[in-house]
Structure 1
Amino acid sequence: MNHRPDDVGQSLGLPDFIDPSDVVEASFDASTTWGEERSSPASGGFEPRDDEQSSSAGRRGSSGSSFGEGARSSGRGAKGKGRKKKQLTWAEKAERREKRAQKRREEEAAEREKDPLGFAREIVLRQLTAAPKSRAQLADKLREKEVDDDVAEAVLDRMEDVKLVDDEAYAGMLVRSQVASRGLARKALAQELKRKGITPEVAEGALEQVDDDAERAVALQLARKKMTTMSRLDEQTQTRRLAGLLARKGYPPSLVWSVIKEIQGSAAPDEAH
């Protein structure tokens, strides 16, 4: 069925002043703009009119301009979003840290001046909340914060009265935890207690938890665990590594060689089998 131009215009929703044939021609021109070659007169085709060339060039220029502008605009937006903060130099970072530290010192000085006892008590409670501490460790912290010795003494005495600071309980707990987690012998445990500020008398009482039998049992446990990782090594290498391990844990030489002999003697029948 043939349609009249005005019927076609109405079906496309075109205004009365636009000829549908112009729309068809414009569509055809647009399709050639996106890559369809037109035949030249030598190949039997046709050559576009000058007005068509200028029209197509105008459309291509307009489209290219819009696309390029959009790409540049998008690029600027992406660049803006992805912009990184300025990287500080080592000296600038150090300067900032020093300024923050100076501000904290000034604030602490003001608090210490206003309420010395309250300031010291807050430091002690904060330290004990983080982890158990000995009296000597807490005294060192108060000295670091420039708390007067008399004020520190008064606060720590009060903390002992209410059992928040108890060196005997702390030393006993430290010995048990170090034996269980690290397998330390009494010699190494004594060094650890001294490092934590525990007096020799208190340390001696805490070390009574570990007698000769308990110490040997822990050494055997360490040696057996180590032997499971050395099954492919020769006996000399095993001996050297076991001796080094137990010596670092603080075990005396006599106990070390006794444990190694027992471990290697019990392992020999299994290897022969």
Structure 2
Amino acid sequence: MNHRPDDVGQSLGLPDFIDPSDVVEASFDASTTWGEERSSPASGGLEPRDDEQSSSAGWRGSSGSSFGEGARSSGRGAKGKGRKKKQLTWAEKAERREKRAQKRREEEAAEREKDPLGFAREIVLRQLTAAPKSRAQLADRLREKEVDDDVAEAVLDRMEDVKLVDDEAYAGMLVRSQVASRGLARKALAQELKRKGITPEVAEGALEQVDDDAERAVALQLARKKMTTMSRLDEQTQTRRLAGLLARKGYPPSLVWSVIKEIQGSAAPDEAH
């Protein structure tokens, strides 16, 4: 459908003194092909490079920088930052540990020489903060740190005076906790106290908390708990496993067989039922 120039001018909203054909011709004159398009340097726009360069270098701005080159350089930087550190060999790790240990020994030697009592006292307090200890355990630790015996003796005496070190209280606590948590008999408890450095006299007093009745009650409790896991086993296997369990806990043979007989006797009516 053909339009008259007047109709075109009205549709475009042009003033009467402008010929629409001039507008159309001007618009075509202003357009260029893709390869010829350029932006004014003053405008700061983009300028495509020659065909041979544009595929590898990307767009180049009026300042001369290439966006493609910038992206690639940025990618190289990010890649470099993500590199893993060199993995040390076993020998290199061991060497580093030895250097750190040597440095600590040198620092401790300087502190020990400067203030022997303060150095020993700090060791004892750190040990007691971690967990209760006997006097013998603390003395062993001071010896490991090369504290003189007379200095260690003075510090430990002072700790006993203020009740921070109390072997009787420690032994009593140890017996109660080992009976409750592990179900140990008096024989095993005596061995544990000896291992902690408790003297025989102090250990004997602590073991008075566990009499014959208490020891039997704990043994029965252990055996009943074990029996719940052996309901499908034959009686001979049950006997062997119960005997092994109670013997490892330090119970005497007479008590072991008495407890097993009672446990299996009470279990028989239930199985028959």
Question: TM-score per shorter chain, which class?
Answer: 0.7 to 0.9
Alignment size in residue pairs = 273
Contact 2:58 2:69 in 1 (8 A): no
2: CA distance, partners of 1:148 / 1:13: 108
The Cα of 1:15 is off from its aligned counterpart by 21
Distance 1:73 1:167, change over 3 A: same
Instruction: Report SS of the residue matched to 1:35.
Output: helix
For normalisation by structure 1, the TM-score amounts to 0.76
Distance 1:83 1:19, change over 3 A: farther
Distance 1:39 1:161, change over 3 A: closer
Contact 1:29 1:56 in 2 (8 A): no
Distance 1:168 1:37, change over 3 A: same
Distance 1:170 1:73, change over 3 A: same
- Give a deviation string over 1:101-137, Cα, whole Å, max 9, x none: 1111111111110111111111101100100000000
Contact 1:183 1:219 in 2 (8 A): yes
The Cα of 1:39 is off from its aligned counterpart by 34
The Cα of 1:237 is off from its aligned counterpart by 1.1
The Cα of 1:81 is off from its aligned counterpart by 3.6
1: CA distance, partners of 2:150 / 2:167: 20
Contact 2:44 2:61 in 1 (8 A): no
Q: Does 1:206 align with 2:206?
A: yes
The aligned counterpart of 1:32 is: 32
The aligned counterpart of 1:240 is: 240
Distance 1:187 1:47, change over 3 A: closer
Give the gaps of 5 or more residues in structure 1: none
The Cα of 1:233 is off from its aligned counterpart by 1.1
For normalisation by structure 2, the TM-score amounts to 0.76
Distance 1:272 1:115, change over 3 A: same
The Cα of 1:86 is off from its aligned counterpart by 1.0
Distance 1:25 1:217, change over 3 A: farther
1: CA distance, partners of 2:240 / 2:108: 54
The Cα of 1:87 is off from its aligned counterpart by 0.7
Contact 1:30 1:56 in 2 (8 A): no
The Cα of 1:38 is off from its aligned counterpart by 28
Give the gaps of 5 or more residues in structure 2: none
Structure 1 residue runs of 4 or more that deviate by more than 6 Å after TM superposition = 1-71
The aligned counterpart of 1:147 is: 147
Contact 1:29 1:52 in 2 (8 A): no
The Cα of 1:80 is off from its aligned counterpart by 2.4
The Cα of 1:36 is off from its aligned counterpart by 24
Identical-pair percentage: 99
The Cα of 1:82 is off from its aligned counterpart by 2.7
